[in-house]
Amino acid sequence: MSWSPTFDELMAGCTTAYHLEMRDSYAVDYEAGPFAEWRAGYRHDPANRASWWRPWLDMVAGEVARGVDIRRARIVSEPVSEYTRFLYDGTFTNVAAGEQVRWLARRRASDIALPGNDFWLFDGKWVHWNHFAGDGSSLGEEITNDPVSAKLCTEAFESVWTRAIPHAEYKI
């Protein structure tokens, strides 16, 4: 097995980091945690940054401050799932940290060649695959600099990004 950098190493050394999410839900705990709290009525307070998703948002803010272009595109079914509504309600925190976030209705992605898994793409060269089970639980990750995978992900992300609607304009 050849060496590959970790996600953190890729993020710390890149100039672009693009994330494509294509699931309508991820591992959901209906009894405890952020999703359960959201279902019970909790919403992030825009004025209370300390209560937001840490340490992720701190890392994003730091990387954006050093000049990294961080983009997240979400392909979603419409009407959106309850979990997508949860993500949507909290996305302002990602945007405040410096991520650019866009949404694309799944029906508008039918003619885009998409990989079979969510991914992060770093500098158009490294792909960090996220593998999930049917219930949304993580099955782990895989990191590769395979040029065929990188090309597929670059083309898929750019096609999605071009069609997707910026978070501030997307209404659910």
Give per-residue pLDDT as tens, 114-148. 999 999 999 999 999 999 999 899 999 999 999 99
Mean pLDDT of 30-58: 88
In 10 A of CB 68, how many CB atoms?
19
Residue 30 pLDDT more than 90? Answer: no
Domain locations in the chain as residue ranges = 7-41+52-166
The more confidently predicted of residues 13 and 27 is 13
Q: Cα separation of 158 and 172, whole Å?
A: 23
Reported as a pLDDT band with limits 50, 70 and 90, residue 54 is confident
Residue 29 pLDDT more than 90? Answer: no
Nearest to 152 by CA among 121, 126, 106, 115: 115
With contact defined as beta carbons under 8 Å apart, do 70 and 122 qualify? no
Q: What is the pLDDT of residues 62-98, one digit of tens each?
A: 999 999 999 999 999 999 999 999 999 999 999 999 9
In 10 A of CB 62, how many CB atoms?
15
- CATH code, residues 7-41+52-166: 3.30.870.10
